[in-house]
Structure 1
Amino acid sequence: MRKALSFTVIFQGNSLNYGEGIANISELKKFHRGNGDVHTFASRQSLRYDIVRLGNQLFNWNLDVVDKSKGVIQFKDECTIKDSVEMDLFGYMKTKAKSGAERRSAAVRISHAISLEPFRSDLEFLTNMGLANRIGTDANLANLEQHQSLYTYTVTIDFARIGVDGKIELPNEERAARIKQLLTIIKILNREIKGRQENLAPLFIIGGVYSVANPFFLGRVSLKQGNQYELNTGKIASVLEQTILGEKVADRTNIGLVRGVFDNESEIETLGNIVTIEQFFTILEQEIDEYFGDK
């Protein structure tokens, strides 16, 4: 039976993704909601960048798979998913003169990481006075938008498409290893930005292995209104009650939790099987081994 892994993460971060900016103001990427709230976000492209960076650092993922031989920056024609975990997980497009393009859609889908707390237009004023004083000149001025918040994003992985591309089919052991490498990266994910290293590791994570590649908890994780950090459990409970292909979502779902973050932990515990973050990933790795070991 076809299987897919989907999970939604909450982490805490500060000012994770900047856009073009105006004059000397560096603006965060953000959007407006209908109620007037403004939320910042880290794009899926930025998350992918840091996942691939860590994949290279931790597991020696091959990054020498890109060129500009046709005037377009893209993956090399001769490179395949055998050569690149990145191409396998996140897909590719290779343009071809007069014959369109060779495409492979992503087997791993990542959403934007969206802030759960509204942006209040905080600014940080910066100068390079330390350098300017050395040569007796005026300092340059800059302003950075700043936002400290909890963020949430979702990952969905279609097991059947990992390690498979046309006539190429990698051994099941390698397919399972690539997914487990990705999970290891998610567990310790961080982002390097403007001299900082932000910790994007999960404080809360919910999901499991299901019969369909569906982001069940995307858009269903939020905070309650108020001054305390309370997770809105009502939305999550509604998803857990759903059934798909004869399976109840709750029966396939685990919840990983870092204690001491949310003020309604006792309420969160009523949702189901609460484990540590480490236990959550261990359970997923066991299910991955079972899936690819049975094939």
Structure 2
Amino acid sequence: MSKGLTLTVIFQAQSLNFGEGIANISELKKLTRGDGNLYTFVSRQCLRYDIVRLGSMLYNWNTQVVDKSKGTVQFKDDCSIKDSEEMDLFGYMKTAKKGGDDKGGSNIRSAVARLSHAISLEPYRSDMDFLNNKGLADRIGEHPNLANVEQHFSFYTYTITIDLDKVGKDGDVDLDKEDKFKRVKQLLSILKVLNRNIRGRQENLAPLFIVGGIYDIPNPFFLGRIRLNYKSNKPYIDSNILKQTLETKIFDNSIEKVTSLGMVSGIFDNEEELKSLFKDENYSIEKFFDNLQDGVKAYYGV
């Protein structure tokens, strides 16, 4: 039976993903909800970009697998998941060039590791930052250029779900179990220290809170189940939603038995209440990833 690994993360960061903007205003990517509020978000493509960037930097992932031989920037025809961790984990589409005997069509591999957008847990309140390049302009006696940049400092949440059975498998390619484990292990290590370089800043996307585990099916159980509120100006996570989610049964097995929690102490006001939902003895982020890594290792039998 195929196993699925899923984890849902909360991190805290500022102004992570901008759209095209209007005139000299840089606009954050935003969503509108039924409560009338705007929430900023970090696209899944943005998260993937930084995961692959760190994969290349920390683990020498091969990113030289792209060309434009068919008029479209895409993965090379002669490259497979054996050559690229990115193609293996996040999928690909290779279009065929129409003409001659080529009937067109596409060669597609669905993502094995599926990311959601990272959505802010606090509404955007139209904060702006006024910028200019006065320092440079003064050097040559010119007037500075002006810019306005939207700013949002918030908690964010995203979910990643990995189909462990499909890692390292694509058509005739079937990597050995050690390589499969290695790729998932590296991905988990990257998520633990995930960061983003943007506009002269390096933002920390590492988990402050994380929940998940390895389940009988690849399903994002905690996606959309994270709600943040404030009490006496301190943030707390809605534990009732988490408790109800933990009651979910798959093939008559409750997911509560295989779900773990990790958090950075001192961030959320109801820390002890959250811990009471789980049976772990150690609730550190590091311990959470250690347990998950052990579970993946056991699944692949390495």
Selected match of 2:298 from 287, 290, 293: 290
**Alpha-carbon deviations, 1:114-155, whole Å to 9, x = none?**
000000000000000000000001000001000000000000
Taking structure 1 as the reference length, what is the TM-score of the superposition? 0.98
Selected match of 1:281 from 283, 289, 292: 289
Letter in 1 for 2:90: F
**Alpha-carbon deviations, 1:93-127, whole Å to 9, x = none?**
00013230000000000000000000000000000
1:230 paired with 2:240, answer: no
Selected match of 2:221 from 216, 227, 246: 216
Q: Distance in 2 between matches of 1:268 and 1:4?
A: 24
Aligned residue number for residue 99 of structure 1: 104
- Aligned partner of residue 235 in structure 2, secondary structure: coil
Q: Distance in 1 between matches of 2:31 and 2:85?
A: 32
**Alpha-carbon deviations, 1:23-50, whole Å to 9, x = none?**
0000000011111011000000000000
Q: 1:269 deviation in Å?
A: 1.4
Aligned residue number for residue 100 of structure 2: none
Q: Distance in 2 between matches of 1:175 and 1:124?
A: 45
Q: Distance in 2 between matches of 1:6 and 1:269?
A: 19
Give matches, 1:52-201, under 5 Å. Answer: 52-97=52-97, 98-201=103-206
Q: Distance in 1 between matches of 2:104 and 2:138?
A: 59
Overall identity of the aligned pairs, in %: 58
Give matches, 1:234-249, under 5 Å. Answer: 234-249=240-255
- Aligned partner of residue 286 in structure 1, secondary structure: helix
Worse-superposed segment, 241-250 or 170-179? 241-250
Aligned residue number for residue 262 of structure 1: 268
- Aligned partner of residue 237 in structure 2, secondary structure: coil
Contact 1:255–1:273, Cα closer than 8 Å, also in 2: no
Q: Distance in 2 between matches of 1:79 and 1:144?
A: 40
Q: 1:222 deviation in Å?
A: 1.1
Q: Distance in 2 between matches of 1:82 and 1:245?
A: 34
Q: 1:271 deviation in Å?
A: 1.3
**Alpha-carbon deviations, 1:178-228, whole Å to 9, x = none?**
000000000000000011000000000000000001000000011125532
Q: Distance in 2 between matches of 1:223 and 1:92?
A: 35
Q: Distance in 2 between matches of 1:111 and 1:155?
A: 6
- Count residues in correspondence: 294
Contact 1:42–1:114, Cα closer than 8 Å, also in 2: yes
1:272 paired with 2:278, answer: yes
- Aligned partner of residue 39 in structure 2, secondary structure: strand
* Runs (5+) with no aligned partner, structure 2: 98-102
Aligned residue number for residue 30 of structure 2: 30
Q: Distance in 2 between matches of 1:200 and 1:269?
A: 22
* Root-mean-square deviation (Å): 0.9
**Alpha-carbon deviations, 1:47-90, whole Å to 9, x = none?**
00000000000000001000001110000000000000000000
Q: Distance in 1 between matches of 2:104 and 2:195?
A: 40
Q: 1:245 deviation in Å?
A: 1.1
Q: Distance in 2 between matches of 1:155 and 1:182?
A: 11
Q: Distance in 2 between matches of 1:103 and 1:235?
A: 37
Aligned residue number for residue 40 of structure 1: 40
Q: 1:246 deviation in Å?
A: 2.0
- Aligned partner of residue 234 in structure 1, secondary structure: helix
